Amino acid sequence: MKFSWRRAIAIGRKEVFHILRDPFTLATALGLPVFMVVMFGSAIEFNVKNIDLAISDSDQTSASRRLMDTFQSSGYFKIHRVVSPNEALVNLTTETARASVIIPPNFEKDLTSDRGSQVQCLLDGSDSSTVAPVLGYLGKIQSISNDRIAAFNPTSPFELRTRFLFNPELNSKWFVIPGLNVIIMSMLSILLTALTVAREWENGSMELLLTTPVEPLEIIIGKLAPYGVLGITAMVFVYIIARAVFGVPFVGSLVVYGLGSLIFLMTYLSQGLLISVVTRNQQVAMQIAMMSGMLPSQLLSGFVFPIESMPIFFQKFTMIFPARWFMQISRDTFLKGSRMVDLGIPFLALIATCLLMMTLSTRIFKKDLEK
């Protein structure tokens, strides 16, 4: 029997009635993304600030005081003055401080001599999330301190001048929000459809549907379309929040971003349907949806941990997750203004995954019915 748009539309229309008459689904689909973006967008901060720093100044000279001022005025550190190097060390072990700076006696004197001077920095390596940023700050502070203590500045053969493109102030909100959008929508969209087919199996309506000449593909398309529209509406809300509340700039093309969002949503909605078709049980579908949707999109999409830093196997492995590709599309269109040609690979990967998920759902559905 041929595919019938009339039947697919009838199923879509029925789903719309279900959605409109279920305030919980509607509130979850539209309200939850907005709430989560506002909440997590405000809470997540990649710039590490207010790091407790213990400083032991055994020199007590103008040069050592300038060095301490530089730490203080950077805004990244909360200074705790201690009287001895030993106390600086104790501060680390008792976790009163995350880092310690030990300025030796004769610091200023050594600077004026040809020998130069050494300042010891001790970092709490047990918390690697603060070590990397602190190391970055230390390099910058050393350079500024050298400028401030100009008389003692050794001449450098060249100067490295850094300018940050796309996010000049390294505002982590600009980086977090377009990524957070990906995480929230992947989690939500997979859940929306994971329950629909399973629900019909559980209450027996699927049997009744199947006694009519309806085809599995018509059911799949009919179920995907309304949730796709719902998902896109949620995406628009999230976009408005990102721009209006968090002031994230958008320099790319809305068409490219919209198209990417649509394919991304359809991919996760299809994955939800696949889970629903396979499990036929709402509770199991929910658990699998959470596992397969939430964890990989958070940990293996590049949202927090850069993919380039992962072992080669995992770099390749992340390619099967749609969130990884849309993360790139979202961040690049928001901040870099990337065009469709620049995002060819992510788009192709998303389209391929989307088609794969839809084909699998339809095939497995069809095969199941013939058992």
Partner 1 sequence: MSQAELAVEVQNLSVRFGDFYAVNDICFSVSRGEIFGFLGANGAGKTTTIRVLCGLLIPTQGKISVAGVGLEQGEQAIKAKVGYMSQKFTLYNDLTVEENLEFAAALRKIKKEVYIKRRSELFEFVSFDRDMKTLVRDLPGGTKQQISLVASMLHDPELVFLDEPTAGVSPVARSRFWALIRKLAGQNKTVFVTSHYMDEVEQCHRIALMREGKIIGLDTPLALKSSTFPKLMFEFNPKGSLSFDEVMKLGSNPCFSFFEPYGLRFHASIADEKAWELIKSQFEKDFYIKVISPSLEDVFIKRVEERK
Which residues of this chain interact with partner 1, rule CB under 8 A? 1, 4, 6-7, 9-11, 13-14, 17-18, 21-22, 203-205, 207-214, 369-371
Query: What is the nearest approach in angstroms of partner 1 to the Cβ of residue 369?
Result: 7
Which CB sits closer to partner 1, 13 or 81?
13
Which CB sits closer to partner 1, 18 or 339?
18
Query: What is the nearest approach in angstroms of partner 1 to the Cβ of residue 360?
Result: 22
For residue 139, count other CB atoms closer than 10 A to its CB: 10
Which CB sits closer to partner 1, 21 or 163?
21
Which CB sits closer to partner 1, 13 or 339?
13
Q: Which residues of 307-328 are buried (b: 16+ CB within 10 A; e: fewer)?
A: beebeeeeeeebeebbbbbbbb
Token pair recorded at residue 333: 């269109």
Query: What is the nearest approach in angstroms of partner 1 to the Cβ of residue 19?
Result: 10
Query: What is the nearest approach in angstroms of partner 1 to the Cβ of residue 274?
Result: 22
For residue 347, count other CB atoms closer than 10 A to its CB: 21
Are the beta carbons of 86 and 54 closer than 8 angstroms?
Answer: no
Query: What is the nearest approach in angstroms of partner 1 to the Cβ of residue 23?
Result: 11
Which CB sits closer to partner 1, 1 or 150?
1
